[in-house]
Structure 1
């Protein structure tokens, strides 16, 4: 049951003041794509590069979050939407804290990703489509999930027995099956520089 006896309590420190302290803008870098498309690997590499240049960052990874905050959720369409809703709210808090937040989630539904985009201000949500054909994802498949899904051992598996809705107008498209990771990292960093997220 939702509580009605709650009131928003404002801070005396603003988001702009936190961003000034960090010396850069804050935003959500929302990496979406099929399982094994390389979202987490890319997030780790980008975070390392940003950290080396004094940028405050944090990664929210799909598997990691399901160990704690979202451990009670399954993979039904309803649970997937709730998973993304919660991550969206957490990401919004990080943006308010002045931190660049990298999220690695399949997030298969356009509606759910758009819901997160609406939580923050214009330009604070950067949708990054990590595009990788399913054959390459299956070839990589570090956890053996595609094989299990094709054998019927895993239900509601995105790309096999559950849909993936490609982004319609992502800010960045990374052809992760066609270029080395360093090129993909540069692509994201260059976008952040060109759009003045980094000072």
Structure 2
């Protein structure tokens, strides 16, 4: 099992990683007639994306995808670059994402908490933000950094009772909002 490549966000000039989501998908290649296929063990879902917030609106700025049938269609008028036998990258997409839901994003990863499978946990970062979005616009921002720092202290004191659940959690981006 391998750690997965997270989607990235540029928010207020800083780079964050997606570590949780509640709501529909942010972006679905199927919407654009493409079927993603695993790129490598660090990208089982077959694509990863970069987003940015501009004037509090969410945009897809870049997409790297391995299309199962080499059927790389234009997105927002942009054609991809790269090697069609592997993955291709769409740059400067500027595609508005009308997402409604919550995303959890984090920055300043703490290497001592690295887990070599799935997505990294919130307590493995110095900064953790929950962003509530409605139709692509930021509605609320909640800084949860201190909360997850305390959560890590609890986790360190507990044993992993169910390894299967722990592994499944590592590969999930579902948000535990409790």
Q: TM-score, normalised by structure 2?
A: 0.24
Q: TM-score, normalised by structure 1?
A: 0.23
Q: Normalized per residue, which structure has more strand?
A: 2
Q: Normalized per residue, which structure has more helix?
A: 1
